Amino acid sequence: MLDFLNQIFPLAIAASIPIMITAIGGLFSERSGVVNIGLEGLMLVGAFTSSITIHYFDQAGNNNEYVVWIAILLAGIVSGLFAILHAYASVSLKANQVISGTAINMLATALTIFFARFLTRSQNISLLNRADRYQKIPILSDIPLIGNWLFTDIYITSFFVLLLCGIAWFIIFKTTHGLRLRSCGEYPQAADSAGINVVKLRYQAVIISGILSGFGGAIYIVTIAGEFNGSVNGFGFLALGALIFGKWKPLNIVFATFFFGFMSTFASLSFVNEVISSFRIPYQFYNALPYVMTLFALVIFSRNASAPMALGEPYDAGKR
Amino acid sequence: GPKLDYDKGTFTGPYCDDLDVFADAKKAAIGMVTDSGTIDDKSFNQGTWEGIQCYNAKHTSAVKYLQPSGETKEDYINAIDNLVDAGYKMIVAPGFKFENAIFEAQTTHEDIKFIIIDGAPHSGNYVPDIKSNTVSVMFAEEQVGFLAGVAAALQTETGKVAFVGGMEIPAVQKFGWGYVAGVAYANDTYDLNVVVTDYLYQGTFTEVTAGQTIAAGMYDEGIDIIFAAAGGVGVGVINEAKTRTEAGEEVWVIGVDSDQYDAGKYGTAGKSVILTSAMKRVDLAAYNYSGALATNSFVGGKQVTYDIKNDGVGLPANNPNLAADTLTKVDTVVAAMKADTIVAPNTKEKLTTYLTSKGYVTPGTITY
Amino acid sequence: MENKHKSARERFIHYFSDESNRRKLAPYISILFGLLAGLILMLLIGQDPIKGYINILNGSIFKGLFEGNFRRLGGTLAIATVLTFTGLSVAFAFKTGLFNIGVGGQMLFGGFIVVLLGNVLTLPKPVHLLVIVLAAAIGGALWALVPGILKARYRISEVVTTIMMNYVAMWTVSYFVRRWIPGHYETESSMIKESASLKFELLTDLFSGSAINLSIILAGLVVVFIWYILEKTTFGYELKAVGFNPDASKYAGMKVNRNILYSMIISGAIAGLAGASYYAGYTNHVKLGVVPNFGFDGIAVALLGLNSPFGVVLSALLFGVLRTGGEYLNAMTSIPKELVDIIVGLIIYFAAATLLIQFMLTKLIKKMKKNDEKHIEEKVVE
Amino acid sequence: MDYVIEMLNITKDFPGIRANDNVTLQVKKGEIHALLGENGAGKSTLMSILFGLYQPDSGVIKIKGQEVKITDPNVANEYKIGMVHQHFKLVHNFSVTENIILGLEPKKTFGRVDITYAAKKVQDLSNKYSLKVNPYDLIHDISVGMQQRVEILKMLYRDAEILIFDEPTAVLTPQEIDELMEIMRNFVNEGKSIIIITHKLKEIKKVADRCTVLRKGKYIDTVDVKNTSEEELARLMVGRDVIFKVDKAPFKPGKMVLEINNLKRTDKVNLSKSLDVEHLELREGEILGLAGIEGNGQTEFIQVLTGLKELESGEILFLGQDISNLSIREKSALGIAHIPEDRHKHGLILDFTLEDNIALQEYYKSPFSNNGILDRGYMKQYAKDIIKRFDVRSGKGELTLTRSMSGGNQQKAIVGREVARNPKLLIAVQPTRGLDVGAIEFIHSELIKARDEGRAVLLVSLELDELLNLSDQIAVMYEGKIVGSLSSEDADENKIGLLMSGGNNVGK
Ligand SMILES: Nc1ncnc2c1ncn2[C@@H]1O[C@H](COP(=O)(O)OP(=O)(O)OP(=O)(O)O)[C@@H](O)[C@H]1O
Ligand SMILES: Nc1ncnc2c1ncn2[C@@H]1O[C@H](COP(=O)(O)OP(=O)(O)OP(=O)(O)O)[C@@H](O)[C@H]1O
Ligand SMILES: [Mg+2]
Ligand SMILES: [Mg+2]
């Protein structure tokens, strides 16, 4: 049993990290009052950007550690820029944010494939450079239990993401910037009359959501997928789910995504685990398990979760 | 304005150079329809397209593929109609999913030639009905699966190997059955005790994450070679293998359909986690029939099997990761297969019989 | 009366002075913008855009039409039919304040029930059809019931639950198909019986053997029915009221939770009908391991159709034309398939930006009015 | 000239309407300047321009003689202009302190908000002006009156010298109003200047020095309050004479309509919202006023009465029938009509047309619908009748989206809808909150009319004037109990005020 848990934890962390950081990105956007169902598309843009970046490094025979980081960084930048489309529609044009998000998803799919074909002649880009995974971390890995669960077989990018989640929590709940951000999502009229530039803040927040989703997409590529293939497998939608499941709170989101990662890892490992597979439960059951468990968890933990009050409402500065 | 040469590729496949040029071949207009995957699936859509491209490279022609908007017979027929309307004279359709669509199309478009790979046209009753303008190309996946099994059994250090399938489609199943038989053969012949510890279908060709997790679970169990015939799931498997290898473990993946050596590369030293690949030369079939069309030597109305005898299946010519000894032994098996002294099982029943003949008590924990 | 004597220009100004009329126009303008952007893109990649668009129209409608071959039109209509159902499902939920991302799953489950009953029942065709259509609606409704209950009882966002239910549908269907109605291949179910197929010889022949089927009539009926419910019945009135303002609806004595549930169920039932249309009219069996894409396309269709039943029909037709025509375009030219996807994405994006478009119209009208005023003044001076 | 603020010839257009038309407003240092006008006269717009929320289309703003451009509230802040909006601009789940410092937060390292320091500063300010707020309370936990003080603190925190109050008294209890007036005077004594928007002439008389009147967006006049009577002010505002005293027929009570015995309900969160009503009765042809300071259980009482909340024990007899367990719909069908307190949240579906909103209570019944099918023709005609009868003004008649209507007209539509149902019992909760005198006059006369036709009217209001003017009997609620009941002859402001604040029981 303990062995099984020891095995699940590192894999579950790896599986949840891309969703986690994307959900945190979504958190910024939604805390500022802008619904972002375009997370999937933004992730995809990040996945593509990182892949094409690494692809060029690969071709140049560059195998330095920083390649991956450059790719992640660029992915963030490009996704952040792409998110401006969403910000422009939903903040400046006061558009229906759901439509705009849907458009973002559609455009991302079409454009990334278009450019992948255009640049590499294939929508399938395999990569040589990938994120490093550390089997052991000095001292930390030796801590009983926790050492096995948190500091074994861990990708360096996972630390990066956890750090970002911490920073996100700090910004949103401790800083003046966070206070202002939240006020825009709750009651932008109040923010405005307090001299806060709602439009600017929302732009910032949507762009941050793009950047973090871009990181998410890139990390998906450099840890899990190892190649780009025109999709991020619905991770963006799962991130959206985790955001709601996590009641728009960073810590809860971290747990929500981890819960999901844990369940899906458990499901996948059940195929392989000798004891569990000896029960001969149909594989469809395991495959459905993460989603079913999430539904149950929602019932238990997320009743009456309250979204930011002004979520989805375009802010009309002077109602002009 | 400047033209973007968008989808006319240079992807002629790694084996194009080796293929013979057809004498007095004319220009040909060859269309292809992909099934569920994309054209760049590193698998048989890509292989087929590479064959066609290769023909194009050698005998400048008109080539085009379409990815249908859906996966139904109607969608396929629409795509075929579109290609026909656009003037393509031969349509290549890789996948058993095209069986119904080709059955209809071969009648509606009598002057067009059809190649269906991995399946045979039928009216819905699964009884092949191949018109004279159609060829059904089948592959002996079990044979190359068998070879992969032999190689795996000979190369494993831990004595544990595994098979991961995507969805249970016929081609994947045959790879798997052959693989298990190959391991059994090696155990029997070379007095080994290698176990196919895990044999499973993940259920999709897309769940990369699941592929990675499953592979991790398997490698943790001590399995060191996984034969992955699983599309995107296989991508996850390969990725896990790379990560482990870079961290110093010694684990392997056996690739499928095409030579996946490149997909398994890590670092810049040119090393790969792909032990070998169970290749299925769809490119060869597509190339050959393109040539047949262009040289007016197309003979339809039949089913053709690409197998070890006509180099339709096999391990790659270059196998940097296989030991010399393994290669020799595999070559023996190849020879025996060509001589029909080894017959790889291509159904579940035949596999059971085969295993029994190799002294296996009926399969235990594993269901094939 | 007066209108008769007004010039076209005056009528234009008069018509668009009304904000709601401006809003109605927005989708058309966004389509125009999307197509314009497509035109520019084609030019950019060195292709002839006129030929491009002609190809799209030919491939989806006209090719063969004048020789009496209606196959392409039929195919486009068949796709549009499925999209009408999924779009309507999303739109109905939207109208009542719910965002149903789970149409794909509901459609799949409804379709599964259809294929199941199409396999195991032996009935005369009319009865069989009736049974499967009803069963499809019930199947879809059942699948939507879970998010409905979770929303009504626990206030859990249907956005998450419907996403989850999509995946659950995929695996549930996969399990039961393989248990009960396995096909020749492990990845699909067996075919439904002829008596359960919505294909109708007369219709198929009329459209030269295309996929068009009886569900197009069903779609027409359902669209009118839903419109009627929403606009003409107390039930629809309640659903909309609850969607807009649950608090006030409660004050007016409506049962808010029950209405949320009903709304979700109906949306699911329509999605289930999409399943009937697709699985009994188009494919005649279920493929495993995929959630149909029509669900997500339905969101776009609904949004472009301004969530109104008739708007949905129009936008479903447009999507049908672009999808089928796009493939033809791809076959005929070296314009890539992704280009059509980009155009569709842009249309949706511009649809989101309706406000910009309305704003521009407002400005135009103002300018025209001002010009007119000046004109009149000048006249007076004369 | 020692004007601190001069707004000269301001014009502001909204699509379809000129909200301010060449308006001029001049405020002297240290004065309380009232801004008076009907609903939609353009008062809020003018103040929003001063506060930088809108830009004027033409006109000049001068501060202390200097011409300035106030492009956004930040600029207004710099000129030390502060504003308490008609609808409070407070974030409901933020603390008092967080709301006050928003936009001007004291910082610690790493951009952290220094909340302890801020809270202390807020506490100090609060003490200085005896505002009695707790810096750590969450906004949604405190009363409306307290929320207003938070708004005031927001201005003080920003060192505002010119304070704008947009209808500050509409939401306050009489006691709170008095306290507010006191606070305002303190400010003026400190040299600050105040602009106050209100519809209540009495208040203007009480605190203001001068008064500027707007009508339909146009500037009418600026008068010295001391030398101008209430009647005069009203005439300036409306453009005609206004009758203040309502005419009522003599009190002729009929059958018992509503009788409440031993009604109990415990509120675990807020005990003062628990109910314990021993006895209350209401007859045909009677207006029963329910007085009480906000938050003393009136809202809950009405919710129990109408079926929105359940009661624990006791009986509610309606025409002799116990209705305590009936649903909202059943009660409404029996003939109970309800004009809710919050018209936007509870009274209307803002995205429905007027036609649909007018049918909101009866759409399910014939003749509005038959067998579940709406009779659109009837609905339209009915809506037209109501619009005409109750003078509901809007752009496109029954097809207007209610969202685009003015507050007064929205309220008229609700009153019309409920009164026209000819209910046996009409429950009106704060029916005139925030309306101008014209609209108030109209709604009052409708309530009286209902009474004179023999209906029972339960009027809940925070405004004593309204209660005293309309009611035949006034009951006072304090901490969920009826602490006194007075006939209109016996009642006066003092007695009621005393009861409201929990003083000794009289009457009964
Ligand atoms: N953002 C806006 N867009 C369009 N019209 C507006 C807008 N704001 C106000 N108006 C219109 O301008 C006019 C003046 O409104 P304003 O809010 O200034 O009135 P007011 O005097 O404050 O009324 P009240 O007493 O109801 O508060 C009204 O007719 C109103 O409908
Ligand atoms: N977008 C708009 N279009 C037209 N009129 C508007 C718009 N926004 C606000 N108004 C009108 O502007 C006026 C002022 O709005 P404000 O926010 O002051 O509310 P109000 O109507 O005074 O509300 P209340 O009556 O509850 O005090 C109102 O008459 C309102 O209906
Ligand atoms: Mg106002
Ligand atoms: Mg008002």
Q: Which residue has the tokens 């929500």?
A: A256
Dig out the tokens for D424 from the structure.
């046996």
pLDDT at D151: 94
Instruction: List the structure tokens of A95.
Output: 């558009």
- Residue B313, CB half-sphere, CA atoms under 13 Å: how many? 30
Going by pLDDT thresholds of 50, 70 and 90, the confidence category of residue B16 is confident
Q: Is the model's pLDDT at D328 over the cut of 90?
A: yes
| D237, D437 Cβ separation under 8 angstroms | yes
pLDDT score at A134: 81
Answer for the pair D296, D478: CB distance below 8 angstroms, yes or no.
Answer: yes
C245:D347 CB<8 A: no
Partners of B135 in the beta sheet?
Answer: B115, B302
Question: What b/e sequence results for D419-449 when a residue is b if at least 16 CB atoms lie within 10 Å of its CB, and e otherwise?
Answer: bbeebbbbbbbbbbbbbbbbbbbbbbebbbe
Does residue C45 surpass a pLDDT of 90? Answer: no
Rounded Cα distance between D374 and D364, Å, is 8
pLDDT (tens digit, 9 = 90+) per residue, A141-176? 788 777 777 888 889 899 999 999 999 999 999 999
The two counts, helices (H) then strands (E), for chain B are 10, 12
pLDDT level of residue C365 (50, 70, 90 thresholds): confident
C-alpha to C-alpha distance for B103 and B105, rounded to whole angstroms: 6
For residue D473, is pLDDT > 50?
yes
3-state secondary structure of B357: helix
Average pLDDT over residues B1-12: 46
Answer whether residue B10 shows pLDDT above 50: no
Query: What does the block give as tokens for C26?
Result: 């927005």
Q: Residue D344 carries which DSSP code?
A: I
Interchain contact, A194 vs D103, CB within 8 Å: yes
Query: How remote is the CA of residue D393 from the centroid of ligand 1, in Å?
Result: 14
Distance of CA D122 to the CA centre of its chain: 27
Mean pLDDT throughout D190-196?
94
Task: Report whether pLDDT(B364) > 70.
Answer: no
In tens, the pLDDT along C1-24 reads 444 566 777 777 777 777 677 777
Chain D nearest C-alpha distance from C308 (Å): 15
From residue A160, alpha-carbon distances to A258, B243, C122, C178 in Å are 16, 18, 61, 44
**Predicted local confidence at residue D252, as pLDDT:** 86
User: Which carries the bigger pLDDT value, residue A104 or residue C28?
Assistant: A104
Arithmetic mean of pLDDT, D315-330: 93
Taking contacts as CB-CB distances below 8 angstroms, the residues of chain A near B238 are: 226
CA distance A187 to D83: 17
D366-380 pLDDT, tens digit each: 899 999 999 999 999
Among B81-85, D312-316, D493-497, the least confident range: D493-497
What number of residues does chain C have? 382
Q: Answer whether C210 sits within 8 Å of B74, measured CB to CB.
A: yes
B/A touch flag: 3 or more CB pairs below 8 Å: yes
Instruction: Give pLDDT tens digits for D403-422.
Output: 878 778 899 999 999 999 99
Please choose from D54, D394, D404, D411 the residue to mutate so as to test ligand 2's pocket, defined by most ligand atoms within 8 A of CB. D404
Do chains D and B touch, with touching meaning 3 or more CB–CB pairs less than 8 Å apart? Answer: no
Question: Mind listing the pLDDT tens digit for each residue in A257-299?
Answer: 999 999 999 999 988 887 777 777 888 898 899 999 989 988 8
- Test the C interface: residue of D328, D349, D353 with most C CBs within 10 Å: D349
Confidence of residue C377 (pLDDT cuts 50, 70, 90): low
B80: confidence class by pLDDT, cuts 50, 70, 90: very high
Structural domains of chain D, with CATH:
3-238 (3.40.50.300), 256-335+423-500 (3.40.50.300)
User: Using beta carbons and an 8 Å cutoff, which residues of D are at the interface with C?
Assistant: 15, 306-308, 327-329, 332, 338, 340, 345-352, 356, 359-361, 363-364, 368-369, 372-374, 376
Taking an 8 Å cut-off on Cβ atoms, the answer to whether C252 and D361 are in contact is yes
CA distance A137 to A147: 9
Q: Confidence class of residue A64 from pLDDT cuts 50, 70 and 90?
A: confident
Q: What is the pLDDT of residue C374?
A: 67
Q: Which of A199-203, A271-275, D502-506: highest mean pLDDT? A: A199-203
Q: Return the number of CB contacts < 8 Å for A and B.
A: 122
- Here the ipTM equals 0.87
- Residues of chain A with pLDDT > 90, as a percent, come to 61
Closest residue CA from atom 5 of ligand 2: D404
**Better pLDDT: C45 or A188:** A188
Which chain C residue has the Cα nearest residue B66?
C331
Interchain contact, C245 vs D351, CB within 8 Å: yes
Within 8 A of B170 by CB-CB distance, chain C residues are: 185
| Residues flanking ligand 2, CB < 6 Å | A 319; D 40, 44, 86-87, 404-407, 434
Phi, then psi, of D463 in degrees rounded to 5 = -100, 115
**pLDDT for the residue B105:** 95
- Would you call A130 and B262 a contact, using CB atoms and an 8 Å cutoff? no
pLDDT of D276 strictly over 50? yes
Best of D91, D95, D351 to mutate (most A CBs within 10 Å, chain A): D91
What is the nearest CA distance from D22 to chain C, expressed in angstroms?
21
The pLDDT of residue A319 is 45
Total-model pTM? 0.89
Res B7 pLDDT > 50: no
Alpha carbon distance D166, D50 (integer Å)? 12
Ligand 1 midpoint to CA D346 (Å)? 22
Query: What would the pLDDT profile of C203-257 be if each residue is shown by its tens digit?
Result: 888 888 888 899 999 999 999 999 999 999 999 999 999 999 999 999 999 999 9
ω before D367 within 30° of 0 (cis)? yes
Q: Worst-scoring range by mean pLDDT, A14-28, A58-72, B329-343, C345-359?
A: C345-359
Ligand nearest to the Cα of D38, by number: 1
Q: Which ligand is nearest to the CA of D198?
A: 1
Query: Can you tell me which atom of ligand 2 is nearest the CA of D40?
Result: 29
Q: Which of D84, D402, D406 to mutate to test the pocket of ligand 1 (most atoms within 8 A of CB)?
A: D406
Indicate the average pLDDT of chain D. Answer: 89
Q: Once rounded to an integer, what is the mean pLDDT over residues B336-363? A: 89
Q: Say which residues have a Cβ less than 8 Å from residue C282's Cβ, sequence separation at least 6.
A: B72, B74, C78, C82, C211, C213
pLDDT at D440: 86
Return the HEC string of B106-164: HHHCCCCEEEEECCCCCCCCCCCCCCCCEEEEEECHHHHHHHHHHHHHHHCCCCEEEEE
A122 vs B: CB within 8 A = yes
A297 touches chain C (CB under 8 A): no
Q: What is the band of D272 on the pLDDT scale with cuts at 50, 70, 90?
A: low
User: What is the torsional sign of CA C80, C84, C85, C89?
Assistant: positive
* CB-based contact B66 C282, cutoff 8 Å: no
Q: What is the CA radius of gyration of chain B?
A: 21
**pLDDT (0 to 100) of residue B1:** 32
Q: Could you tell me which of D264, D328, D256, D316 has the C-alpha nearest to residue D288?
A: D256
Residue-averaged pLDDT of chain C: 89
Which residue's CA is the nearest one to ligand 1's atom 24?
D39
Beta bridge partners of D164: D83, D195
